[in-house]
Amino acid sequence: MSAIRMPEPDAQVLARRAEIIAALEKILPKESVVSTPTQLRPYETDALTAYRQTPIAVVLPETTEQVAQILRYCSANKVKVVPRGAGTSLSGGALPLEDGILMSMMKFNRILDVDLPNRAVVTQPGVTNLGITREVEHAGFYFAPDPSSQLACSVGGNIAENSGGVHSLKYGLTTNNVLGLEMVLMNGDIIRLGGKHLDSEAYDLLALLTGSEGLLAVITEVTVRVLQKPEGQQAVLVGFPTIIAAGQCVADIIAAGIIPGGMELMDNLSIVAAENYVNAGYPTEAAALMIIELDGPQAEITDLLAQVEAITQKNGAIYQRISQSEEERALFWAGRKSAFPAFGRLAPDFLCMDGTIPRAKLPEVLLEMEALEQKHGLRCGNVFHAGDGNLHPLILYDANKPGDLEAAEAFGADILRLCVKVGGVLTGEHGVGIEKRDLMPEMFSETDLAHQERIKCAFDPHHLLNPGKVFPQLHRCAELGKMHISGGKLPFPDIPRF
């Protein structure tokens, strides 16, 4: 294991391993409690594969009541719990704890209610992102968040991570597309939020749960809204001689009042990697490639295409191709969506970063990143959700080369610090997990983090649910609860009053 340390396992809990497994087997059928080393191996990691830990056991409940019973038992016996969906997290959100159990939600795999008049789907959390769309596409509907892992990732995981995708500028992240959920707190309380209606009656707990990375509650049911597909979609590939020109083109399109369905940017290394991988017809000579997707009625697309073309020409585009069929549009995207595996061919390993920056800072950040390549002696490619400023630098390394992983992690940390420095954030859609946990103080002060931890304390005061993630340091809730009031007199003679 490398730079990121996990909390020391509790020896007392480890010593009770057999007893814990026996207790879990009383709650669940025997086959739903996994505890042999061979069976546990597939659960050791998620998609942040550099980190692995073996839990005490994996439990696979299939009812909300079972989840509540397990959590009540674990609460009473101070056993930590890590929830897991499909295990596609890129930030280590589902990394098990050695002194905890892993709760896999993959037996919650049924869609419960497809309600098209209300444009809502009620589903169990283990259903895949694409599984929802498949259930409603016969009527022209789809579930808008489209992370690249949508074939595999679960909707429960989408909520935990507030997943985005290439269409999120126009159609929102998961948080903008969730209507309700059922969840179980660590104390066993079963709580329903929302439903098929819009907005919360009081505090917006859906907002807190979405993106909470499995630290607040275990989600056992989800209601999402589905949208009607736009009438048509057309994508344009545009090549540029410099990445700066492409960045300016992005700004100009937005400034013209156009919000494309998707707007992606790839640098030359990514273009070449993707082209070699899927033969999407990308111009490998271009320094930067934009994919712009326009959607709506054909009249609107045609009109927008003309406007976009004028803007790309003005910015010195050297290549342009407009999709002429649904197959061709899918091919344009296939290159972009396979960028991660394509990079897998360029080097034995790569780290995928996920900062967001104000779009205008793109040239500055890219220049600085070139300098960082020199500093760390590693190559880095860039794919970029240009519409919303979400950067995915891919750092190439070789885990078998001593020191390479550490160098890649240091490079990644430098990139994220740079994102924060220019006014951006540590993560746009992959989550903090363990990967960016120790960088949180780059963006948040101790007081900022304390207020976030207080949310955690309201849900899970003993830090039993997915501890060691998101927060660089765990404070006892009792300690966070103390008030530190300075003074008592009113020390502000200059505040105007009436």
Partner 1 sequence: MLENDKVNGGAHPASTVQAQEASIFAPQNTQQVQEVVAWALAQQQPLQIEGTGTKLGWGRAVELPHRLTLKNFSGIIDYQPEELVLTAKAGTPMAQIEAALAEHGQILPFEPINPAAFASGHGEPMQTTGTLGGVLATNLSGPRRLKAGAARDHVLGLTAVSGRAEVFKAGGKVVKNVTGYDVARAFCNSWGTLMIATELTLKVLPRPQEERSLCVLGASCETASQIMSAAMASSAEVSSAAYLPDFVARRLASNPLADMGSLTLLRLEGSSGSIAARFRQLQSALNAYGEQSTLDASTSGSIWRQIRDVVPLALPQTCLWRISLAPAHGHRFLQALPHSLASGYFRDWAGGLVWLQTPTEEPEGETIRAALHKAGGGHATLMRAPLAQRQQQQVFQPQPAPLQQLSQRIKQQFDPQAVLNPGRMYAGS
**Nearest residue to 196 (alpha-carbon basis) of 275, 136, 122:** 122
Judged by CB under 8 A, which of 14, 454, 473, 474 binds partner 1? Answer: 454
Site for partner 1 in 278-337 (CB under 8 A): 296-300, 302-303
Query: Which one, 207 or 318, has the nearer CB to partner 1?
Result: 207
DSSP code at position 87: S
Q: Which is nearer to partner 1, 271 or 449 (CB)?
A: 449
Query: DSSP per residue over 312-355, as a string?
Result: HHHTT--EEEE--SHHHHHHHHHHHHTHHHHHHHHSSEEEE---
Per CB under 8 A, contacts with partner 1 among 179-238 are: 185, 189-193, 195-205, 207-208, 210-212, 228-231
Give the nearest distance from C-beta 71 to partner 1 in angstroms.
13
Footprint on residues 402-431 left by partner 1 (CB under 8 A): 423-431
Q: Which is nearer to partner 1, 30 or 203 (CB)?
A: 203
Considering only the stretches 27-35, 269-277, 338-346, 357-365, report the one whose residues sit in contact with partner 1 under the rule CB under 8 A. Answer: 357-365
Do residues 331 and 280 touch, judged by C-beta distance below 8 A?
yes
- Report the C-alpha gap between 33 and 97 in whole angstroms: 16
Among positions 36, 374, 445, 478, the unique one binding partner 1 when judged by CB under 8 A: 445
Closest CA to 74 of 452, 433, 467, 454: 467
- Among the listed residues 249, 236, 475, the one whose alpha carbon sits nearest the alpha carbon of residue 336: 236
- For partner 1, the closer CB: 126 or 389: 389
**Calpha distance 74→20 (Å, rounded):** 9
Nearer to partner 1, 20 or 357 (CB): 357
188 vs 344 by CB, closer to partner 1: 188
Judged by CB, which is closer to partner 1: 42, or 423? 423
| Least spacing, CB of residue 178 vs partner 1, in Å | 11
Determine phi and psi for 169, rounding to 5 degrees.
Answer: -60, -45
CA distances from 83 to 40, 125, 207 (A): 15, 11, 19
What DSSP string runs through 1-53? Answer: --SPPPPPP-HHHHHTHHHHHHHHHHHS-GGGEE-SHHHHGGGS--S-TT---
Structure token digits, residue 306: 């003309």
- Binding residues for partner 1, rule CB under 8 A, total 112
Taking CB under 8 A as the rule, does residue 117 contact partner 1? Answer: yes
Among 241, 450, 462, 475, binds partner 1 (CB under 8 A): 450
| Binding flag, residue 123, partner 1 (CB under 8 A) | no
Query: What are the φ and ψ backbone dihedral angles of 269, each rounded to 5 degrees?
Result: -60, -40
Tokens coding 469? 């993630």
The one among 259, 367, 371, 474 contacting partner 1 by CB under 8 A:
259
**Does position 260 bind partner 1 by CB under 8 A?**
no
Q: CA 448, CA 346: separation in Å to the nearest integer?
A: 40
- Residue 169 interacts with partner 1 (CB under 8 A): yes or no: yes
In this complex, which beta carbon is closest to partner 1, that of residue 142 or of residue 340? 142
Is 374 among the residues that bind partner 1 (CB under 8 A)? no
Residues 124-143 that bind partner 1 (CB under 8 A): 139-141
Binding mask 48-67 for partner 1 (x = CB under 8 A): --------------------
Whose CA is closest to 114, among 130, 141, 135, 128? 135
